[in-house]
């Protein structure tokens, strides 16, 4: 009985302490809000927002609600994060592998890249790309065409727009291709386990991925045409490109800075992963007669991935959180649109900041849960 009380007391103390702090804060908040005449409530989300946003993936203008403005910001954040993650991963893997090359030049070049971009603050890199590099781009009327159809100017990167007919059929063909690839892989694994035969799964997958959409093009009535940006004059000295898709320079600067910065960390993770597989594994695999390709695919990579994936997922999370730095340049992500403009127009600081933090929290927590599940699944059981 005595030990039970001894265990309970510190916990109750901590709980009381935390409750006291929370109570203190909420009491003061309530008092302050009463004094200032501010009301607390989430009803403002259904009010009209009356401000426009420069770049939005969904249909939005000032006559939509604040909630829709929140969605716009969220989608922009996700857009930047996804593009950044893809570029950072590709770049990071390349540089990580380059760091392991015996070639003196390549090795040091990659090392220089990592040391250079890792030691400069991300905010500084974003500022550099946006205020220094992209401001030096030419005006639309002076821009030269890249491949004859796209233009890189100070007002944005204008590329041709895709115009689809019967896009859904194309989409279904891609889905069908993916499903059939998964089926083939399961079948190939079963075949290998029971009969020891290897199917060239990789080539089959590529083939499926190309053939099925091709069929949709030829027989499904899917059509793809391009709309090329055309120069249009707005005034004597001001031009833009009409038609096509315009990618704002804010997005370009942010994605560039985020990818280059995060790629350094991913490169280090990849390098640590591959180096972390003991040399004995490679030698043992070679001694039982596996080809170098097979060694890499069947022995090294699975073990290396175990070491690579958790920190890399962490880096993806960091990239998503770092995308909030868009508030420093004029890219309309969640923080700038919702916790910036909307907050200033409505004055509801507590509600808006709480929603913003909750959004980022749920993103982080879901990735944490995934990582914990993955770690448990592949963990080496210690006795």
Under the binding rule (CB under 8 A), the answer on residue 240 touching another protein is yes
**Exposure string for 83-119, b = 16+ CB within 10 A, e = fewer:** bbbebbbebbbebbebbeeeeeeeeeebeebbeebee
In the list 321, 371, 374, 378, the residue contacting another protein (rule: CB under 8 A) is 321
Comparing C-alpha atoms, which of 227, 244, 254 is closest to residue 331? Answer: 254
Shorter beta-carbon distance to another protein: residue 76 or 173: 76
Site string for another protein, 123-142 (x = CB under 8 A): xx--xx--xx--x---x---
The owner of tokens 């053939």 is 211
93: tokens are 């893997």
Q: Directed axis angle between helix 349-378 and helix 301-322, to 10°?
A: 180
Using the minimum distance from each CB to another protein, give the nearer residue, 166 or 345: 345
Cβ neighbours around 321 below 10 Å, total: 14
Question: Minimum distance between the CB of residue 203 and another protein, rounded to whole angstroms?
Answer: 21
Q: Binding of another protein at residue 258 (CB under 8 A)?
A: no
Residue 375 near another protein by CB under 8 A: no
Segment near another protein (CB under 8 A); pick from 65-73, 112-120, 160-168, 197-205: 112-120
By the rule CB under 8 A, 175 interacts with another protein: no
* For the chain, counts of helices (H) and of strands (E): 13, 8
The 334-373 contact track toward another protein, x by CB under 8 A, reads: -xx--xxx-xxxxx-xx--x--xx--xx-xxx--x-----
Please tell me the distance from the alpha carbon of residue 20 to that of residue 5, in angstroms, as a whole number. 22
Closest C-alpha among 68, 63, 26, 49 to residue 346: 49
Only one of the segments 10-18, 192-200, 215-223, 282-290 lies at the binding site for another protein (rule: CB under 8 A); that segment is 10-18
232 scored as a contact of another protein (CB under 8 A): yes
Q: How many CB atoms lie within 10 A of CB 285?
A: 18
* 223 versus 362: smaller Cβ distance to another protein: 362
Residues 32-91 that bind another protein (CB under 8 A): 32-33, 35-38, 50-54, 61-62
């Amino acid at each position: 009985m005595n030990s039970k009380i001894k265990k309970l007391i510190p916990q109750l103390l901590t709980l009381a302490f935390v409750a006291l702090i929370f109570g203190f804060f909420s009491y003061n908040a309530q008092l302050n809000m009463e004094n200032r005449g501010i009301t607390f409530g989430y009803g403002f989300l259904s009010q009209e927002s009356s401000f426009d946003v420069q770049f939005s993936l969904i249909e939005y203008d000032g006559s939509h609600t604040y909630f829709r403005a929140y969605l716009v910001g969220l989608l922009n954040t996700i857009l930047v994060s996804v593009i950044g993650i893809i570029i950072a991963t590709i770049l990071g893997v390349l540089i990580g592998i380059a760091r392991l090359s015996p070639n003196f030049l390549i090795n040091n070049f990659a090392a220089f890249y990592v040391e250079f971009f890792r030691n400069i603050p991300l905010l500084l890199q974003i500022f550099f790309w946006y205020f220094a590099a992209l401001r030096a781009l030419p005006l639309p009327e002076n821009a030269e065409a890249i491949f004859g159809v796209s233009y890189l100017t100070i007002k944005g990167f204008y590329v041709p727009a895709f115009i689809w007919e019967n896009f859904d059929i194309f989409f279904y063909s891609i889905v069908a291709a993916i499903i059939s690839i998964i089926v083939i892989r399961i079948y190939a694994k079963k075949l290998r386990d029971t009969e020891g035969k290897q199917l060239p799964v990789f080539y089959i997958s590529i083939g499926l991925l190309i053939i099925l959409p091709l069929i949709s093009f030829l027989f499904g009535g899917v059509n793809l045409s391009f709309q090329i940006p055309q120069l249009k004059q707005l005034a004597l000295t001001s031009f833009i490109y009409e038609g096509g898709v315009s990618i704002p320079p804010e997005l370009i600067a942010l994605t560039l800075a985020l990818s280059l910065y995060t790629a350094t960390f991913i490169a280090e993770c990849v390098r640590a992963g591959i180096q972390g597989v003991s040399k004995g594994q490679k030698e043992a695999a070679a001694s039982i007669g596996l080809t170098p390709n097979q060694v890499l695919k069947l022995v090294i990579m699975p073990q290396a991935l175990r070491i690579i994936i958790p920190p890399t997922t962490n880096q993806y999370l960091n990239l998503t959180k770092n995308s909030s730095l868009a508030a420093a340049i004029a890219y309309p992500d969640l923080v700038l649109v919702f916790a910036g403009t909307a907050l200033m127009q409505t004055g509801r600081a507590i509600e808006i900041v709480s929603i913003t933090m909750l959004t980022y929290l749920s993103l982080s927590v879901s990735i944490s849960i995934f990582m914990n599940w993955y770690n448990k699944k592949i963990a080496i059981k210690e006795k």
